[in-house]
A and B are shown apart, each in its own frame.
Chain A
Amino acid sequence: QVQLQQSGTELVKPASSVKISCKASGYTFTSNYMHWIRQQPGNGLEWIGWIYPGNGNTKYNQKFDGKATLTADKSSSTAYMQLSSLTSEDSAVYFCARMLTGRYYFDYWGQGVMVTVSS
């Protein structure tokens, strides 16, 4: 069955970076899009961007240009998102979500990673 297993909770300092992961299983990782979505405390959802692991192509929400960098490791079927120059505004839960090629909706989500930025 399809599973997206994300890495654990992160507590990081302001101005630092963090890299979170999303390990996929149960489907062909390289043939489908992986998206990332942010949910700030008490707030709604914001789309960050996607990566197509088959060729490494990416697309970002302009709001997250320079903040988020998406990568993927085909050998381990794992997608990564690095967040840089962290501020308290980046404290949020970050989800990965699969978008099946040809379907174009988010049918499976990871459990989410809580990132807290605090000194």
Chain B
Amino acid sequence: DIQMTQSPSFLSASVGERVTLSCRASQNINKYLDWYQQKLGEAPKLLIYNTNNLHTGIPSRFSGSGSGTDYTLTISSLQPEDVATYFCLQRNSWPLTFGSGTKLEIK
């Protein structure tokens, strides 16, 4: 199985700050990488698919990049409503595997 390692596990940042979350795969996943946001008590919500494609209705402050084994989710200007846990998901091979998440809080 492909292991997905997210860092950091926890991040505290100020409103308006640029935030970068990382996801590393144990092998090349050919950009089949999605990012999800999960707020407390809710289902995950798709933000980015195929590394850098913004899902419908997602604010443009979210962006994704990466290739090979290393991928990044960037929030250009952190907003209070961005408090959540962020997960990456690889869809390159079965079984699909998620990262363990980055919990993002406002400082």
23 pairs from A and B in contact (CB 8 Å cutoff): A44-B98, A44-B101, A45-B44, A45-B89, A45-B98, A47-B95, A47-B97, A59-B94, A61-B95, A95-B43, A95-B44, A103-B49, A104-B91, A105-B49, A105-B50, A105-B55, A105-B91, A106-B34, A106-B36, A106-B44, A106-B46, A107-B55, A111-B42
Asked, given contacts A45-B98, A47-B96, whether A110 binds B43 with beta carbons under 8 Å apart, the answer is yes
For residue A104, which residues in chain B have a CB less than 8 angstroms away from its CB?
Answer: 91
> Cα distance A45–B4 when bound, in Å?
11
Q: Is B45 an interface residue (CB 8 A)?
A: yes
- Determine how close the nearest CB of chain B comes to the CB of A20; give it in whole angstroms: 14
> Cα distance A112–B45 when bound, in Å?
13
Q: Is B64 an interface residue (CB 8 A)?
A: no
Asked, given contacts A45-B44, A95-B43, A112-B43, whether A62 binds B91 with beta carbons under 8 Å apart, the answer is no
Asked, given contacts A44-B98, A45-B98, whether A105 binds B34 with beta carbons under 8 Å apart, the answer is yes
- Determine how close the nearest CB of chain B comes to the CB of A97; give it in whole angstroms: 8
Contact surface of A with B, Cβ cutoff 8 Å = 35, 43-47, 59, 61-63, 95, 97, 103-107, 109-112
> Cα distance A43–B98 when bound, in Å?
11
Contact surface of B with A, Cβ cutoff 8 Å = 34, 36, 42-46, 49-50, 55, 87, 89, 91, 94-101
For residue A95, which residues in chain B have a CB less than 8 angstroms away from its CB?
Answer: 43-44
User: Which chain A residue lies CB-closest to B101?
Assistant: A44
> Cα distance A46–B98 when bound, in Å?
7
Contact status A44-B95, CB under 8 Å: no
> Cα distance A38–B33 when bound, in Å?
19
Asked, given contacts A59-B94, A105-B34, A109-B44, whether A44 binds B87 with beta carbons under 8 Å apart, the answer is yes
